[in-house]
Amino acid sequence: MKLLLTSAGIKNPSIHGALVDLLVKPIADSNALCIPTAAYGSSYSTPAGPWRFISGRSDQPMTELGWKSVGVLELTALPSVGSDRWVQWVRETDALLVNGGDALYLCHWMRESGLADLLQSLHDSVWVGFSAGSMVLTPRIGEDFVGWKPPTAATKRWASSTSRSSRTWITRISRRTPWLRQNDGVPACRVRRTQSTTKPPSKWSTTPSKLSPRGTGSCSPPAR
């Protein structure tokens, strides 16, 4: 899977150009699934937030870019649907548009739904995240971004329900996500490799990385 990790969506021409370059087909010929899940775990979110994201009326342009089709992939519903239905939906899509909100909540439902295990096999698809949708695939999360807590001890580690191969892939690909070079508007997020990622944390990491913008990152420990 290819990653486009942004702080606020497709906000300027250079980020839009990066998306076009990553997609196999033009946007007008590409199908997208939007994932609003992270918003439900955020203490400051309201029901209007996911609706604005899905309908293309938010301040973070994602679904309103002229896609051939846009569907909704709500991760909290997937465990009750069955993988025989939704896995094919994901495999046939060109882009996953991932909403902001709480990154730990999103991380939890990526594991519970099985989406995390599927990502490494989606070679041509593009993960387009903003805010929490970007941080969930990065090495660390700053304390300012931690709100939701896992409901059980079994979910305290990324390793609890995600295969080692998935953790290895997510860590490896996040480390090599490049900076977007641009001169206009707010820059997109990227992942930095830091010394703090050389040892897996014993619990959820909430220490901001001094080398990452605003201490951002994700809930996944690095591969061993």
Other beta carbons within 10 angstroms of residue 133's beta carbon come to 31
* Sole residue written with tokens 């990502």: 119
Give pLDDT tens digits along the chain (224 positions).
999 999 999 999 999 999 999 999 999 999 999 999 999 988 777 888 889 999 999 888 999 999 999 999 999 999 998 888 899 999 999 999 999 999 989 999 999 999 999 998 999 999 999 999 999 988 877 777 777 777 664 444 444 444 555 556 555 655 555 545 444 444 444 433 333 333 444 344 444 444 434 444 444 444 54
Give the closest residue to 30 by CA, choosing from 91, 95, 88: 95
Give the closest residue to 128 by CA, choosing from 186, 79, 60, 183: 60
Tokens representing residue 27 in the block: 């946007």
CA dist 184 and 205 (Å) reads 33
CA dist 39 and 55 (Å) reads 14
CA dist 62 and 34 (Å) reads 8
Q: What is the pLDDT of residues 178-204, one digit of tens each?
A: 545 444 444 444 433 333 333 444 344
Which residue type sits at 174? Answer: S
In order of their start, the domains of the chain are 2-215 (3.40.50)
